[in-house]
Chains A and B, each alone.
Chain A
């Protein structure tokens, strides 16, 4: 269970939140100008980063506000929480420890 610090409500259990996937994916500026490949990119292709990943979360059962979070997808460490619409904070990208496969069996 992740313990997530909502910017408005403070520390709450993961079960109060919904996941929103990769952050910083803007709606195309000129949708009509996109070809099929570009539409596929927007609709179906998201980064699948192993390591520090900027993602969106919604505090569904609390303030019902969206926010961004920088989380390591290997260790699950939460590195930063920041408002929607602000740029991804610089991080110590090297904090990601490659866990040995099977170590958590």
Chain B
């Protein structure tokens, strides 16, 4: 498959400035969420004297490791609202950022393999429609029509009994998304500072007033944490706890193949999700490794399970080869929903807990988190995702619904 649809890009998309001694706001974490937050702070709130601090290289954490699936077919109103807003932003961002990141609305199918799955799926299609999210229920023949390589026969352990389908969902090229945001941030005056690790925070009473880094101390009025798997480590430095557990999440790609897979297929029950990247690799992922881990790697039996599931659902994949497997660190919460809002420390804000599904939420995370940082109060879309929900009990329990697999 040719690669000539990939856009060319110039050698340098952003500067590499030295950190200044003070900024109006500092974003910790130069992944998708940090970049999107800085972009919306500059664009929507006129805050351009800001910096993104990234301990490694730009977008080298989970932004480089996810399986790039974008969808908004979540069950609960709060989730549907924020993820659908994200999807609407994905639809306009290539033009707004003036950078084509190959957002391909090829649809996402969530397969049902049991009667329980079928009931849950049909319920979710209904809920999605009421929330203005495009959703359809497909019977196995319709599934086969949209994705001919899927095995819908009865002689497998968990036959395909149907699927939900969101036509506007799809995939995007994750690196290009990061570069698109980074370029615009840089144009707007945001300092993107790589190889700058936060080692502590300066506080005046309970108010954050600065950030200690391996490249010196930076004074700032506001701090936004966008550090995904390392959110707990940063929170501990700042003196508070988060209800988050960090787990390894693995993914893999095959070697390049001719286009065989026209859409995105996810199965929570046999647990694998598969799409085919623009270049031709089959991209697969599944669930997290069970244990806590910061090692950016997991156990091989997790890979083995997802490949077994993939081969059962897609018999032609049996002769494909694994080219590469890798892991990222995902920040999971017990209700499988993110935390975006204020923190117990004044002028410090948290955006974390996106777990295995942060990529699709990138634009909405950025938009709402920027609003929260700039105004000191949550945007109406992220208000339900406050840290307080673990005390009030107003959880947004996406575990049994749409969000088991991302």
Contacts and interface: CB of A to CB of B under 8 A. Distances in A.
- Residue of A39, A48, A103, A104 with highest tally of chain B CB at under 10 A: A48
Nearest to B387: A40
Nearest to A75: B295
Categorize the interface residue count of chain A: 20 to 34
B326 A104 contact: yes
A48 B301 contact: no
B334 interface: yes
B5 interface: no
Contact of A76 (B243, B293, B333): B293
B301 A15 contact: yes
A71 B291 contact: yes
A46 to B, nearest CB: 6
B243 A44 contact: yes
Contacts of A2: 291, 299
Contacts of A102: 56-57, 60, 296
Interface in A50-105: 50, 53, 55, 71, 73-76, 99, 101-105
A18 interface: yes
B316 interface: no
A48 B296 contact: no
Interface string A2-31: 100000000001110011010000000000
Given A19-B290, A46-B245, A48-B242, A74 B295 contact: yes
Contacts of B55: 101
A55 to B, nearest CB: 7
Interface in B368-392: 390-392
A99 B56 CA distance: 12
Nearest to B60: A102
B301 A44 contact: no
Given A2-B299, A55-B291, A48 B245 contact: yes
A11 to B, nearest CB: 15
Contacts of A53: 292
Given A48-B246, A73-B294, A1 B299 contact: yes
Given A37-B391, A101-B61, A45 B241 contact: yes
Interface of B: 55-57, 60-61, 230, 232-233, 241-246, 290-297, 299-301, 326-327, 333-334, 390-393
18 contacts: A1-B300, A2-B291, A40-B243, A44-B390, A48-B292, A50-B230, A50-B233, A50-B294, A73-B293, A74-B295, A76-B291, A76-B293, A101-B55, A101-B56, A103-B296, A104-B295, A104-B296, A104-B327
